[in-house]
Structure 1
């Protein structure tokens, strides 16, 4: 497989790093010259990785082309390139629908969208793919969890859920700040909370149980987990999350 990346930012760096670390088979990886420092860094990972002189050279030396530019310049960048029918395009571009992608690269027969997250560099990411795509699945199932969906409404919903990263860390920061008030220093609080989250995530991945079942299993009747869950439920904390996700989904679908 000859892979090419148009755009060399955070997600390209994570994907290429994961490919090299976890043995995704490839014959060559061609990188866009944009963001020269990142491209040069990635080229040191494997002798089969090359930084091209132009985006067009990426196309000429690739069969599978990953699009990783920001949406604001997508039309301009893609409009300057000459694709052909042999190219298999996997787009990481937020807010650019399959219909719009096909309009921008009409020569291409196979187009899919994917939302890889930075943790794919560590083989722990979740990647949504639409529609089902054997090439994208082969890559991202090696780099974590690959979830294929059959229409863009479902894909948009999965994309919306990725908006919870900042709020996840904000909850941890709130807990860390509370621990500081109890006399701990920040490094100890952060270390404890990081390990605590790893344990919870491991249980979620390991058991495959519905989250509702895991909620119940964590709560001893009259215990402190039940107290916390009951208090947050009473105050509508979880409902606020749903409302916020509804707002994000409207924005995602409005941009598509």
Structure 2
């Protein structure tokens, strides 16, 4: 496989690092010259990774092309490039649907969308793919989870779910701050909570149980887990997630 990346930012860095680290087979990876420092660092990881002189050279030397530019500049970057029908296009561009990507690349190329997250570099990421695509799945399944969906509506919903990253860390910060008020050093509180969360997250990979059953298994009648869960439920805390995500989805799909 000859794989090319248009755009060399955080996501490209994570994907290429993961592909190398976890032995995903490829013949060559061609990188955009944009963000020269990141591109040069990736080229040092493996002799098969090359930094091209231009984005057009990336296309000329690749069969599968990952579009990894921010949406604000996508039209400007892609309009100056000549894609070929042989190119298998995987778009990471947020908010730009398949039909629009196809219009921008101006060929009958196969076009799919994917949302790789930074943790793919560690083999811990979840990547959603739309529509189902064997090539994209072969790239991302070794880097964590690869979830294929059959509509861009479902793809957008999973994209909206990624808006919870900041709030995830904010919840941890609230717990750490509470522990500090109980007399712990922040460093100790953070170390404890980091390991605690890793353990809980790992538990989700060891079973296919619904999360609701996993929650129930943590609660004993009258126990402290039941106490906190009941209080948060009564206050409608969990319902706020659905409300907020609904508004994010409206924004993604242009309804707000």
Same fold flag (TM > 0.5)? yes
Distance 2:20 2:205 in 1: 24
CA root-mean-square deviation? 0.7
Q: Distance in 2 between matches of 1:44 and 1:221?
A: 56
Encode CA deviations 1:45-104: one digit per residue, 9 max, x unaligned: 000100000000000000000000000010110000000100000000000000101111
The answer on 1:240 being equivalent to 2:240 is yes
Correspondence for 1:149: 149
Report if aligned partners of 1:89, 1:108 keep a CA contact under 8 Å in 2.
no
User: What's 1:183 paired with?
Assistant: 183
Equivalent-residue separation in structure 1 for 2:221 and 2:75 (angstroms): 57
**Which deviates more, 26-35 or 103-112?**
103-112
Aligned to 1:33: 33
Structure 1: gaps of 5 or more residues: none
Q: CA deviation at 1:121?
A: 0.1
The alignment of Structure 1 onto Structure 2 pairs a total of residues equal to 255
TM-score, length of structure 2 as denominator length:
0.99
User: How far apart are residue 208 of structure 1 and its match?
Assistant: 1.3
Give, in whole Å, the separation in 2 of the partners of 1:109 and 1:90.
10
Deviation digits for residues 111-149 of structure 1, max 9, x if unmatched?
000000000000000000000011110010000000000
CA distance in 1, matches of 2:206, 2:244: 29
Match of residue 170 from structure 1 = 170
TM-score by length of 1: 0.99
The Cα shift of 1:108 comes to: 3.5
| 2:59 corresponding residue in structure 1 | 59
Gapped regions of structure 2 (runs ≥ 5): none
Separation (CA, whole Å) in 2 of partners of 1:153 and 1:191: 39
* Structural mapping, 1:27-106, within 5 Å: 27-106=27-106
Q: Which residue number corresponds to residue 2 of structure 1?
A: 2
